[in-house]
Amino acid sequence: MKFKLKRQEIDQKLVDFGVKKIKQNRVHVPRATSKTLKGLAESLEEIQKNGLPKHLVLKKLKKKLGHGIFLHPNAKPILKGEVIAPYSGEVALFPQNGEDNSDYVFSLVSDLLLTKQEQLSWDPGRRYHPRRLYSIDLDAHKKGNFTRFINHSAKPNVEAHFLRIPANSLGLSPSPFELLYIAKKTIRPGEQLLLCYEGEDKSYWGVLNIKPFPMTPKTFRLISPRGQSSFRSTSTMETI
Ligand SMILES: C[S@@+](CC[C@H](N)C(=O)[O-])C[C@H]1O[C@@H](n2cnc3c(N)ncnc32)[C@H](O)[C@@H]1O
């Protein structure tokens, strides 16, 4: 798998700016617990070694759904609260609701108003507008890891947590904000990992002008005849 970026890519100037805006906007970023840090360290080790962790399977689904991620039929269940992996990609500041948005963008901090000086510094190509809103976006279009293949469901078994990674003894570099995918409920062998993309602002599907296919974790399932994994419907395995 070519998508092996372990954690978000962000430059220090944007980290500092993000911290300032998070404080100004009184956004609460909870601290990752020690259990979460341990899970994070384990997931990063797997991504480093294999790209796709051994207990997961990448499958091509029907029609326009593209690929999806499944728990291997012979794997142990993933329990509620276990870390799947960080959603990794390139972090940048964009005018909100702009057209640069890709299918793989997560808005980390949105509705940011910038001073004239800040707009000149971060967005020099555009004329200053005092009411233009910006967001700090995480984009896995070009760089990311397997989490970029996790599809959408209104009944998800995975949720995204916006957390602070504190100083730790596990060798993880601290980060004032990071997005981690964590199991929302028990994920059983063969089930698809699914996340609800839509926040309260309904900004994902509305912008793309697509009606999402109504999937649950059990809609497509990997089954394991005689110890080998196979798919319930005809599908091809592709290398990404
Ligand atoms: C983050 S990607 C997920 C991985 C994607 N399937 C792929 O192969 O790259 C998001 C895109 O996957 C597709 N997708 C994910 N969940 C879907 C759903 N429930 N219905 C329709 N399309 C979906 C849409 O094209 C969406 O913009």
Is the pLDDT reported for residue 228 higher than 80? no
Confidence tier at 198 by pLDDT (50, 70, 90):
confident
Question: Ligand 1 centre from 63 Cα, in Å?
Answer: 11
Kindly state if the Cβ of 106 falls inside 6 Å of ligand 1.
no
Hey, whose CA ends up nearest to atom 15 of ligand 1? 151
Q: Which of 74-78, 126-130, 197-201 has the lowest mean pLDDT?
A: 197-201
Across the chain, mean pLDDT equals 91
Q: Which atom of ligand 1 is nearest to the CA of 215?
A: 19
Residue 199 is predicted with a pLDDT of 76
Question: Ligand 1 centre from 96 Cα, in Å?
Answer: 21
Question: Ligand 1 centre from 110 Cα, in Å?
Answer: 22
Question: Ligand 1 centre from 13 Cα, in Å?
Answer: 32
Report the 10 Å Cβ neighbour count for 7. 21
Kindly state if the Cβ of 41 falls inside 6 Å of ligand 1.
no
Is the pLDDT reported for residue 239 higher than 50? no
Probe ligand 1: pick from 1, 84, 103, 239, max atoms within 8 Å of CB?
103
Mean pLDDT confidence for 108-112: 94
Probe ligand 1: pick from 152, 181, 207, 209, max atoms within 8 Å of CB?
152
Q: Which residue has the tokens 């990448």?
A: 58
Residue 237 is predicted with a pLDDT of 41
Hey, whose CA ends up nearest to atom 24 of ligand 1? 65
Choose among 92, 102, 211: nearest CA to 148. Answer: 102
Boundaries of every domain in the chain: 12-231
Round to whole Å and give the CA distance between 181 and 159: 6
Kindly state if the Cβ of 196 falls inside 6 Å of ligand 1.
no
Residue 226 is predicted with a pLDDT of 61
pLDDT cut 70: percent of the chain above it: 90
Residue 64 is predicted with a pLDDT of 86
Is the pLDDT reported for residue 112 higher than 90? yes
Question: Ligand 1 centre from 197 Cα, in Å?
Answer: 10
Question: Ligand 1 centre from 167 Cα, in Å?
Answer: 35
Architecture category of domain 12-231 in CATH:
Beta Complex (2.170)
Is the pLDDT reported for residue 164 higher than 50? yes
Confidence tier at 224 by pLDDT (50, 70, 90):
confident
Question: Ligand 1 centre from 153 Cα, in Å?
Answer: 10
